């Protein structure tokens, strides 16, 4: 299987590359622009493998994408390249529209040209997997779950840009017959995640004795999915997903933000006990600090993954207690990876403080 992965130097994309090459024996071409959140150090496990290759390119560059498709001739595309941080979309929505909407259009159009060239027999096995988010559905009340038929109601520029991309993917299936499969996943966590996100930011700040920022009252709820489980779902979408279908991918792990922070602190308390200035034992929980909420912060997301379970046989294998333990342990063991980011492109500053609220 020859798989073209966009955004393969990012958090989820690099996990896809490592898993697909290392465990599934796929041949992978990773196409990534190498923006601030990309990190080729996350791919060292596969760099020397003859089945893996990297090409630096912008998915919005039509000529480059056409060249990539011609030269690599993929059996499947896993389209993960996206601007994905809500706070950054509040400060600068333009790049989100460019990458997430225009970039997805260019990828779909390049794939359409490939399928047209290769013919009907090729189209039956080819898949374009468009990887999206549960944020396109907006905010849930205290009960219920997002399903594949939930109406779209994006509440941030990031979510709106992903919703636009989802609609383009749907249109390319219905108009052109492109074998598109769309997945909408819940919050991913795990090793190699860029430290602007909640869990790695909390871990790294705690280790330095800095405040662990929690937005608002800490009661916003998300469904948390271990990244490797998500990658396994994407493999099934690429091999067995029905063209034109969407699949919600969730972890059955609803947690409030404050519960996530507590879980991180409790693992740190076990693995690297902290002492106060007097030398007495001290919990990392003391570093949790509530800060002003982000604009338009959705209250609750929750995914119903029944469809992908029943149709493709996927279920998350990693319980949250196991996943958060693995995640914290990884960051403790890879401080150099983290330090290079903190000293370079991101110093863990607060983002998303827009003038639009004033």
Q: Are 49 and 78 in contact (CB under 8 A)?
A: no
Asked if pLDDT for residue 20 goes beyond 80, the answer is yes
Residue 348, pLDDT score: 52
User: Which residues, in sequence order, are bridge partners of residue 222?
Assistant: 255
Secondary structure (3-state) at 266? helix
CA triplet 283, 286, 289: central angle to 5 degrees? Answer: 145
- Region 344-350 average pLDDT: 56
Residue 279, pLDDT score: 76
- Region 248-277 average pLDDT: 95
Asked if pLDDT for residue 322 goes beyond 70, the answer is yes
Residue 357, pLDDT score: 39
CA–CA gap between residue 147 and residue 307 (Å, rounded): 8
How sure is the predictor about 345, in pLDDT bands with cuts at 50, 70 and 90?
Answer: low
- Region 194-213 average pLDDT: 93
CATH class entry, domain 2-192+225-252+300-318: alpha beta
CA–CA gap between residue 70 and residue 56 (Å, rounded): 16
Greatest alpha-carbon span in the chain: 73
Q: Are 106 and 32 in contact (CB under 8 A)?
A: no
Residue 24, pLDDT score: 93
Asked if pLDDT for residue 262 goes beyond 70, the answer is yes
117: number of Cβ within 10 Å: 11
Instruction: Note the pTM of the prediction, 2 decimals.
Output: 0.94
How sure is the predictor about 85, in pLDDT bands with cuts at 50, 70 and 90?
Answer: confident
Strands 187-189 and 281-282: unpaired
How sure is the predictor about 277, in pLDDT bands with cuts at 50, 70 and 90?
Answer: confident
Of 41, 303, 60, 321, the C-alpha closest to 194 is 41
Which residues carry out catalysis? 134-135, 158
DSSP 218: S
Q: Order of strands across the sheet with 76-79?
A: 52-56, 27-32, 2-6, 76-79, 127-133, 180-185, 246-249
In sequence order, the 6+-apart residues with CB closer than 8 A to the CB of 246 are 148, 166, 181, 182, 183, 184
For the chain, how far is it from start to end, CA to CA, in angstroms? 52
294 backbone dihedrals φ, ψ, rounded to 5°: -75, 155
CA–CA gap between residue 294 and residue 89 (Å, rounded): 11
DSSP 250: -
């Amino acid at each position: 299987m020859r798989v073209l992965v966009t955004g393969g130097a990012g958090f989820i994309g690099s996990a896809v590359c490592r898993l697909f090459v290392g465990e599934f024996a796929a041949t992978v071409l990773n196409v990534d622009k190498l923006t601030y959140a990309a990190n080729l150090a996350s791919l060292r496990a596969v760099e020397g493998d003859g089945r893996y290759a990297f090409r630096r390119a912008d998915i919005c560059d039509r000529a480059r994408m056409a060249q990539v498709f011609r030269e690599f001739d993929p059996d499947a595309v896993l389209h993960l390249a996206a601007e994905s941080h809500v706070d950054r979309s509040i400060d600068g929505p333009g790049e989100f529209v460019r990458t997430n909407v225009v970039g997805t259009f260019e990828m779909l159009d390049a794939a359409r040209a490939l399928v047209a060239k290769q013919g009907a027999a090729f189209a039956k096995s080819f898949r374009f997997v468009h990887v999206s988010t549960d944020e396109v559905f907006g905010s849930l009340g205290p009960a219920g779950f997002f399903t594949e038929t939930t109406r779209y109601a994006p509440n941030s520029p990031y979510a709106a840009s992903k919703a636009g991309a989802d609609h383009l993917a749907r249109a390319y299936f219905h108009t052109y017959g492109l074998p598109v499969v769309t997945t909408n996943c819940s919050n991913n966590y795990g090793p190699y995640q860029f430290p602007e996100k909640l869990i790695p930011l909390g871990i790294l700040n705690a280790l330095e004795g800095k405040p662990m920022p929690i937005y608002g009252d800490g009661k916003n709820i998300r469904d948390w999915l271990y990244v490797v489980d998500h990658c396994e779902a994407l493999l099934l979408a690429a091999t067995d997903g029905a063209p034109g279908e969407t699949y919600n991918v969730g972890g059955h792990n609803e947690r409030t933000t404050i519960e996530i922070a507590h879980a991180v602190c409790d693992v740190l308390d076990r693995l690297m006990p902290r002492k106060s200035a007097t030398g007495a034992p001290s919990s990392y929980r003391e570093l949790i600090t509530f800060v002003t909420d982000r604009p338009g912060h959705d209250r609750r997301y929750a995914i119903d993954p029944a469809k992908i379970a029943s149709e493709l046989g996927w279920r998350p294998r990693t319980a949250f207690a196991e996943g958060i333990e693995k995640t914290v342990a990884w960051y403790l063991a890879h401080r150099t990876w983290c330090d290079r980011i903190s000293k370079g492109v991101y110093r863990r500053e607060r983002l998303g403080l827009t003038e639009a609220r004033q």
